[in-house]
Structure 1
Amino acid sequence: MRFKFEKLIIWQRAMDFGDEIYKISQSFPKSEVFNLTSQINRAVDSIALNISEGSIEQSNPEFKKSLGYSIRSLAEVVTYLHKTKRREYISLIDFEKYYQESFNLINMMIAFKNQLK
C-alpha cells in the first residue's frame, strides 16, 4: 500500500532535489554549518514535507495552502542558491543546474496547485 503523495511527481522531484541540495551543502565551509547549510537544508526538506502533509487533507483548500508553503520554501532555496554562488561555495555550472531544477519544479507545483478545485 502506498500513500497518495508518493505517487505525486512533484513530491518525487522534491525528494530528489532535496537529496541533491543536501549533498552540495556538505561541501560548504564549516563556518556555515549553523547558518547557510542548516537553512538551505531545512528549506529544501520543507518542500516535500508540505506536499505530503497537504495531500493527507480531505479538502482541496487545505492542500492548496500546503502547496503554497512548498512553493515559498522553494523560493527560499533559490535565494540560498544565489547566496552560495555569490560566496563561491558552488560553481556557476552547479548554480545554473539547480536553478533550472528549481524553476522546473516550481512551475510544476504551481500548475498542480492551479488544477485543484
Structure 2
Amino acid sequence: MAFKFEKLIIWQKAMDLNEVIFVITKGFPSDERFNLISQMRRAADSVALNIAEGSTSQSNPEYQRFLNYSIRSIVEVVSALFISKRRNYIAEEVFQSTYNQCEELVKMIQSLKNKLVSS
C-alpha cells in the first residue's frame, strides 16, 4: 500500500459507506438527481476523502480537524437518510442498516480522535 490511509479501517469503512450510498441513491427518482442524490453522494465522498487527506497531516490537531470534517459529513448523510425515508425512497430496513453503519463509523473516528489527543 502506497498511502497510509489505505491501511486505516475507518477509511475502508468510509469507502463501504460510500458504496452503499451510491447504490441506495440509484433507486431515487430522477428529479432528485441534482438535489438529494448529489448531496448524499458528495457527503459520503467527503467522509472518505477527509480521512485520507487528514492522514497526511503534519500534526495531530490538523488530523483531528479533518476527522471532524468526516464526522460532519456522516451527520449530513444521516440527515439525508431521514429525508429519504420520509419521502419513501428507502425502506425502514435500508434506513436502519445504513444508519447503524454511520453510527459505527462515527464512534470509530471519535476513538481515533481521542487517541490523537493522548499522543
Q: Distance in 2 between matches of 1:103 and 1:2?
A: 29
Aligned residues: 117
TM-score by length of structure 2 reads: 0.96
State how 1:17-96 maps to structure 2 within 5 Å: 17-96=17-96
Query: Structure 1 residue 92: deviation in Å?
Result: 0.4
Q: CA separation in 2, counterparts of 1:85 and 1:66?
A: 29
**What's the RMSD between the two structures over aligned residues?**
0.7
SS class of match (2:89)? coil
In structure 1, C-alpha distance between the alignment counterparts of 2:43 and 2:70, rounded to whole Å: 9
TM (normalized to structure 1)? 0.98
Q: Which runs of 4+ in 1 moved over 6 A?
A: none
* Structure 1 spans left out of the alignment, 5+ residues: none
Q: CA deviation at 1:50?
A: 0.2
Question: How far is the alpha carbon of 1:80 from its aligned partner?
Answer: 0.2
Question: Deviations 1:17-73 (Å, cap 9, x if unpaired)?
Answer: 101110110110001000000000000000000000011111111000000000000
Q: Percentage identity across aligned positions?
A: 53
- CA distance in structure 2 between the partners assigned to 1:83 and 1:100 by the alignment: 16
Q: What residue ranges of structure 2 are gaps of 5+ in the alignment?
A: none
Q: Which amino acid is the alignment partner of residue 106 of structure 1? A: V
Give the Cα–Cα distance (whole angstroms) in 2 for the partners of residues 94 and 28 of structure 1.
13
